[in-house]
């Protein structure tokens, strides 16, 4: 007898149900998502027995004709995906064509649907994945699906159902997540006739929807968040530190309108808040992260609650910058005038640490060992606490400038290693107004800054920022021709690198790098964009070969971002190897005033460190 047998469709659907349909809340999620994909303006959810007894979802979407209604019960039948390529730019909530057959295989399932203007509708009933009965039904607007006795034919799974109240909470949470992601759609939910959630479409003020979802008390504490960068936009609301929770349940992150739980994103949000919340409290945040569908893989989790970003770090940086900007402005503390009248206390320890970090780095750059600093003297040692950005407002209450970044827990950051959001653009004309005074540690430029501040400029970070801007602009302009360059050399590389570079020739040309196969593992590097002449060509090409996007990726700013960062980093490394002349420094300061401080660079370095002299005087006493 043969050992292998093909599984029946009923069994296959039940197995799929094990992954897709974890509990009643998953049914609510899947069916509401189908309603959204069908263009519904209103979705109604009626529950009984915590959702285990009965779930009814009705919508006013485009409905289905008889053929589609019958087909939708078959596994892998979907209207949302046709070709492999569609999988890489999904803009619907569903795409696998497995939710309905999976749900129908573990419940008593009834579907009633019709297309607009149709004279007749269709009703289909399925018991535990058995053969469907199809009958005529009155016409109706949209679709209504009823799921009764969930898991009635999977006793093992039914046993795992929690108390009705717990399942109900999960169902409610499913509705809340969908409602937060789709304020333009009305959501109404009841349990045994009692209202659970009611929110008509609220397109004008997104705070109305948040208040409906999180409770009306949240409304006055909500502040808008917005950060738009190439390839990623972050919008939404954060609640001021007066409105927090003891757990992370108020932390909602949506990627392309899909509720996502991503560890990297959650810890980015928590880090942004860590300096503002009392111990044991968690922020309340509703964040919508929108990236090009091609820049995110949504097909990595059975319930689509996780995603994989092409540039996870870029997304985290954007989230971090978006939150920090609002937190730093502390709008809940009142208008800038009110804040100026009642300034937050300055924390001398922050500056002491900034100075210490800077001196350590300067010392290491020059002599290879840290200098003793004021911090080694008698007195209690200061903990490496993160800096509170609100302390950064320069005297006079102007816009905050660039500053040393917060230390990560458990590690003191070296100068120039701070968090990227602190690379934000300073006020216009900031850099050309600096008055260079000399070199520190044969490397760092010490300048007098606006309002009598001491400004220390890291030439490597500054050059990297300037080059990054120049290379991104070139890419944005779509210049195809290689940059004119006298540079030309032949390099021996690894086989993998040669293959990747030859495959990526078109991408390289967009970046201004022209390579040609030279036989075997040799490549001719014919030209590079300004700033990269004279770099170690082998190191540059090996690094570029790893940073190029896969062949199938579109050649746009998102997919080429990593390669641009590599080029900027190599250009800066070469140029900062020797101290800048006065003329070079002047030119660089001019470039920095025109630089774009939003895209992250390889090391997330801080270009300048600024210290109010008043603070230094106080430390010296
Ligand atoms: N409420 C609805 N209104 C109109 N069409 C619907 C509705 N629900 C389901 N459909 C149709 O049935 C098809 C199958 O739905 P199902 O949820 O099983 O798969 P999917 O949404 O395509 O993918 P996924 O399994 O990822 O959710 C859908 O592609 C859609 O065409
Ligand atoms: Mg679906």
Q: Is 548 in the pocket of ligand 1 (CB under 6 A)?
A: no
Query: Could you tell me which of 243, 250, 249, 247 has the C-alpha nearest to residue 218?
Result: 243
What is the predicted pLDDT for the residue at 612? 52
**Residue 52 confidence (pLDDT) above 90:** yes
Q: Which of 37-46, 84-93, 375-384, 519-528 has the highest mean pLDDT?
A: 37-46
Q: Which atom of ligand 1 is least distant from the CA of 78?
A: 29
Query: Confidence class of residue 428 from pLDDT cuts 50, 70 and 90?
Result: confident
Mean pLDDT of 200-206: 84
Instruction: Give 97 Cα–ligand 2 centroid separation in angstroms.
Output: 6
Helix, strand or coil for residue 589? helix
CATH topology of domain 206-336: Ribosomal Protein S5; domain 2 (3.30.230)
Query: Confidence class of residue 156 from pLDDT cuts 50, 70 and 90?
Result: confident
Span between the terminal Cα atoms of the chain, in Å: 92
Distances (CA, A) of 54 to 157, 158, 171: 16, 14, 12
Q: Which atom of ligand 1 is least distant from the CA of 34?
A: 8
158-167, 171-180, 313-322, 554-563: least confidently modelled range: 158-167
Distance CA 16, CA 8 (A): 12
**Residue 113 confidence (pLDDT) above 90:** yes
Query: Confidence class of residue 519 from pLDDT cuts 50, 70 and 90?
Result: confident
User: For residue 136, how many C-alpha atoms fall within 13 Å in the half-sphere facing its CB?
Assistant: 4
Instruction: Give 20 Cα–ligand 1 centroid separation in angstroms.
Output: 14
Query: Confidence class of residue 89 from pLDDT cuts 50, 70 and 90?
Result: confident
Which has the higher per-residue pLDDT, 211 or 478?
211
What is the predicted pLDDT for the residue at 194? 94
Mean pLDDT of 7-21: 75
Mean pLDDT for the chain overall:
78
Q: Is 320 in the pocket of ligand 1 (CB under 6 A)?
A: no
**Residue 387 confidence (pLDDT) above 90:** no
3-state SS string for 494-519: CHHHHHHHHHCHHHHHHHCCEEEECC
User: For residue 378, how many C-alpha atoms fall within 13 Å in the half-sphere facing its CB?
Assistant: 0
**Residue 91 confidence (pLDDT) above 70:** yes
Mean pLDDT of 56-74: 96
Classify burial at 615, counting beta carbons within 10 Å of its beta carbon; exposed 0-12, middle 13-18, buried 19 or more.
buried
What is the predicted pLDDT for the residue at 289? 96
Q: Under a CB-based contact definition with an 8 Å cutoff, are residues 246 and 281 in contact?
A: yes
**Residue 430 confidence (pLDDT) above 80:** no
Distance CA 36, CA 32 (A): 6
**Residue 347 confidence (pLDDT) above 80:** no
3-state SS string for 318-385: HHHHHHHHHHHHCHHHCCHHHHHHCCCCCCHHHHHHHHHHHHHHHHHHHHCCCCCCHHHCCCCCCCCC
Q: Which residue owns the Cα nearest ligand 1 atom 21?
A: 94
3-state SS string for 18-53: HHHCCCHHHHHHHHHHHHHHCCCCEEEEEEEHHHCC
What is the predicted pLDDT for the residue at 15? 74
Mean pLDDT of 153-159: 82
**Residue 368 confidence (pLDDT) above 50:** no
Instruction: Give 214 Cα–ligand 2 centroid separation in angstroms.
Output: 26
Instruction: Give 415 Cα–ligand 2 centroid separation in angstroms.
Output: 50
Instruction: Give 208 Cα–ligand 1 centroid separation in angstroms.
Output: 29
The answer regarding whether domain 462-594 maps to CATH 3.30.1370.100 reads yes
Q: Structure pTM?
A: 0.58
CATH topology of domain 9-199: Heat Shock Protein 90 (3.30.565)
- Torsion sign over Cα 564, 569, 572, 577: negative
Q: Under a CB-based contact definition with an 8 Å cutoff, are residues 245 and 284 in contact?
A: yes
What is the predicted pLDDT for the residue at 460? 78
Tokens (6 digits) for 458: 């890291």
Q: Is 441 in the pocket of ligand 1 (CB under 6 A)?
A: no
Mean pLDDT of 168-197: 95
Mean pLDDT of 388-415: 32
Domain ranges of the chain: 9-199, 206-336, 343-458+605-620, 462-594
């Amino acid at each position: 007898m043969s050992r292998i047998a093909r599984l029946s469709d009923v069994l296959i659907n039940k197995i799929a149900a094990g992954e897709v349909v974890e509990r009643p809340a998953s049914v609510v999620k899947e069916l509401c998502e189908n309603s959204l994909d069908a263009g519904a303006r209103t979705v109604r959810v009626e529950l009984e027995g915590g959702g285990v007894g009965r779930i009814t979802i009705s919508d006013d979407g485009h409905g289905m004709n008889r053929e589609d209604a019958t087909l939708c019960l078959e596994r892998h039948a979907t209207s949302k995906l046709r070709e492999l390529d569609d999988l890489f730019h999904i803009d619907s909530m569903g795409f696998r064509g497995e939710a309905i057959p999976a749900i129908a295989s573990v419940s008593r399932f009834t579907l009633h649907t019709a297309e607009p203007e149709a004279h007749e509708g269709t009703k289909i009933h399925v018991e535990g994945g058995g053969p469907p009965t199809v009958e005529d039904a009155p016409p109706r607007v949209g679709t209504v699906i009823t799921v009764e006795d969930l898991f009635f034919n999977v006793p093992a799974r039914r046993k795992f159902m929690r108390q009705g109240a717990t399942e109900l909470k999960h169902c409610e949470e499913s509705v809340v997540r969908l409602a937060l992601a789709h304020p333009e759609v009305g959501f109404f939910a009841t349990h045994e006739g009692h209202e659970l959630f009611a929110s008509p479409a609220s397109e004008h003020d997104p705070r109305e929807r948040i208040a409906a979802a999180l409770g009306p008390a949240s409304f006055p504490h909500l502040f808008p968040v917005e950060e738009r960068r190439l390839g990623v936009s972050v919008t939404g609301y954060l609640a001021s530190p007066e409105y927090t929770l003891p757990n992370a349940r108020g932390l909602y992150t949506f990627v392309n309108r899909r509720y996502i739980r991503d560890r990297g994103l959650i810890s980015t949000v928590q880090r942004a808040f860590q300096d503002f919340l009392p111990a044991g409290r968690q922020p309340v945040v509703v964040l919508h992260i929108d990236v090009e569908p091609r820049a995110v893989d949504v097909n990595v989790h059975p319930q689509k609650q996780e995603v994989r970003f092409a540039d996870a770090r870029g997304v985290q940086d954007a989230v971090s910058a978006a939150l920090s900007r609002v937190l730093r402005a502390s709008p809940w503390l009142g208008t800038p005038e009110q804040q100026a009248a009642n300034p937050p206390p300055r924390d001398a320890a922050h500056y002491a640490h900034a100075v210490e970090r800077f001196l350590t780095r300067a010392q290491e750059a020059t002599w290879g060992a840290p200098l003793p600093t004021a911090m080694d003297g008698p007195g209690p040692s200061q903990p490496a606490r993160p800096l509170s950005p609100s302390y950064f407002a320069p005297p006079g209450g102007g816009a905050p400038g660039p500053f040393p970044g917060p230390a990560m827990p458990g590690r003191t950051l070296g100068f120039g290693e701070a968090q990227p959001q602190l690379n934000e653009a300073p006020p216009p004309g900031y850099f050309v107004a600096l008055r260079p005074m000399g070199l520190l540690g044969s490397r760092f430029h010490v300048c007098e800054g606006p309002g009598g501040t001491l400004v220390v400029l890291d030439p490597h970070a500054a050059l990297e920022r300037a080059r990054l801007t120049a290379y991104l602009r070139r890419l944005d302009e779509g210049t195809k021709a290689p940059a004119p360059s006298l540079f030309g050399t032949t390099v021996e590389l690894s086989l993998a690198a040669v293959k990747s570079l030859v495959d990526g020739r078109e991408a390289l040309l967009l970046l201004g790098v022209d390579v040609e196969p030279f036989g075997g593992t040799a490549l001719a590097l014919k030209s590079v964009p300004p700033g990269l002449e004279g770099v170690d060509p082998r190191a540059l090409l090996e690094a570029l070969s790893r940073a190029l996007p896969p062949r199938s990726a579109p050649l746009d700013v998102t997919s080429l971002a990593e390669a641009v960062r590599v080029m900027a980093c190599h250009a800066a490394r070469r140029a900062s190897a020797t101290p800048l002349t006065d003329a070079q420094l002047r030119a660089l300061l001019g470039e920095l005033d025109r630089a774009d401080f939003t895209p992250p660079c390889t090391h997330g370095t801080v270009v300048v460190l600024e210290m109010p002299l008043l603070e230094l005087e106080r430390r010296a006493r």
